[in-house]
């Protein structure tokens, strides 16, 4: 991922260009149908949801079709929020708000479902070595996760979709203060993406707790560890065959 993915200006320009060229935009980490079964198993009647960093993805529209209503989608780019609000102007139970995922402007316990796809990845691009995460990034991710935990209902669920495997990503999620359990599935035919599900009110296993603690202990072998984050080309993530 490019270091520019952390800049609001980058996303505004990208979405402005997309609009001018009248192209739908890039869908991160595959098609919704590839992971729809993982979402569906968590849905209950009257599930209300929040999408973090929605971009111009079809994810919000797909969730809405699945019956997640009301559905609020936020992004810190006003350009994409304006575009998405126009695109979905006829769906009154879908709303679009310019908002920073680190400072959610919702009361405690508002949503049964919070979901993000590629948003935390974009926020973590400064990290070139996922074994040794900087304090700044730990704090940034914790700000988002604390907010997610706060706005989830007591039995709510947080879904996080990423290319980052459990030994790097689960340790951010496996912190006791969020009050949730952590599980991970994969999807995708060639490249496997990771689908994390956090259940509010669930327990962390001892492996999760050890992972969580490892976030604060630098990995000894980090010099030899190849990382996907070194790749600057997002197409690599969609086209790689392993």
Ligand X SMILES: C[S@@+](CC[C@H](N)C(=O)[O-])C[C@H]1O[C@@H](n2cnc3c(N)ncnc32)[C@H](O)[C@@H]1O
Our finding on whether 163 is near ligand X (CB under 6 A) is no
Piece in contact with ligand X (CB under 6 A), picked from 86-94, 114-122, 164-172, 183-191: 114-122
Using CB under 6 A as the binding rule, whether residue 53 contacts ligand X is answered as yes
Q: Which is nearer to ligand X, 26 or 69 (CB)?
A: 26
| 55 binding ligand X? (CB under 6 A) | yes
Q: Which of 39, 63, 71, 101 binds ligand X (CB under 6 A)?
A: 101
Looking at the DSSP bridge assignments, the partners of residue 75 are: 98
Residue from 4, 16, 102, 150 touching ligand X (CB under 6 A): that is 102
Written as one string, the DSSP assignment of 30-54 is S-HHHHHHHHHTT--TT--EEEES-
Cβ nearer to ligand X, comparing 27 with 129:
27
The verdict on 173 binding ligand X (CB under 6 A) reads: no
Instruction: Tell the residue number behind the tokens 């809405």, with chain if given.
Output: 64
Segment interacting with ligand X (CB under 6 A) among 51-59, 61-69, 176-184, 193-201 = 51-59
- E strands, 86-208, are 94-98, 111-117, 152-162, 180-187, 193-200
What is the token pair recorded at 198? Answer: 């956090």
Confirm or reject binding of residue 75 to ligand X (CB under 6 A).
yes
Cβ proximity to ligand X: between 100 and 185 the closer is: 100
Residue 28 is a binding residue for ligand X (CB under 6 A): yes
Q: What does DSSP assign to residue 130?
A: T
Distance CA 160, CA 59 (A): 12
Site for ligand X contains 100 (CB under 6 A): yes
Residue 73 as a binder of ligand X (CB under 6 A): the answer is no
Among 18, 47, 57, 73, binds ligand X (CB under 6 A): 57
φ/ψ of 125, rounded to 5, equals -65, -20
Q: Quick check: helix, strand or coil at residue 122?
A: helix
Q: Which residues contact 79 (CB under 8 A, 6 or more apart)?
A: 11, 12, 15, 16, 19
Residue 15 to residue 21: CA distance in whole angstroms: 10
**Least separation in angstroms between CB 204 and ligand X:** 26
SS3 6: helix
CA 178 to chain centroid = 16
196 lies in the binding site for ligand X (CB under 6 A)? no
Which parts of this chain interact with ligand X (CB under 6 A)? 11, 27-28, 53-55, 57, 59, 75-77, 80, 100-102, 117-119, 122-123
């Amino acid at each position: 991922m490019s270091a520019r993915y952390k800049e609001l200006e980058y996303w505004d320009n990208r979405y402005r260009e997309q609009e001018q060229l009248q192209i739908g935009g890039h869908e991160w980490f595959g098609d919704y149908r590839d992971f729809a079964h993982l979402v569906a198993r968590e849905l209950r009647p009257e599930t209300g949801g929040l999408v973090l960093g929605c971009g111009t993805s079809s994810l919000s529209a797909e969730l809405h079709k699945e019956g997640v209503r009301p559905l609020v989608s936020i992004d810190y780019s006003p350009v994409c929020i304006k575009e998405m609000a126009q695109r979905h102007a006829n769906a009154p139970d879908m709303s679009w708000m310019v908002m920073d995922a680190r400072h959610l402007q919702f009361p405690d316990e508002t949503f049964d479902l919070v979901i993000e796809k590629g948003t935390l990845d974009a926020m973590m691009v400064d990290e070139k070595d996922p074994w040794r995460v900087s304090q700044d990034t730990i704090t940034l991710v914790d700000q988002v996760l604390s907010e997610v935990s706060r706005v989830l209902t007591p039995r709510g669920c947080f879904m996080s979709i990423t290319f980052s495997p459990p030994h790097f990503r689960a340790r951010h999620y496996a912190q006791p203060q969020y009050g949730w359990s952590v599980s991970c599935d994969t999807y995708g035919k060639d490249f496997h993406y990771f689908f994390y599900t956090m259940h509010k009110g669930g327990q962390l296993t001892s492996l999760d707790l050890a992972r969580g603690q490892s976030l604060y202990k630098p990995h000894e072998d980090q010099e030899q560890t190849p990382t996907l984050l070194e790749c600057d080309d997002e197409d690599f993530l969609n086209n790689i065959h392993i």
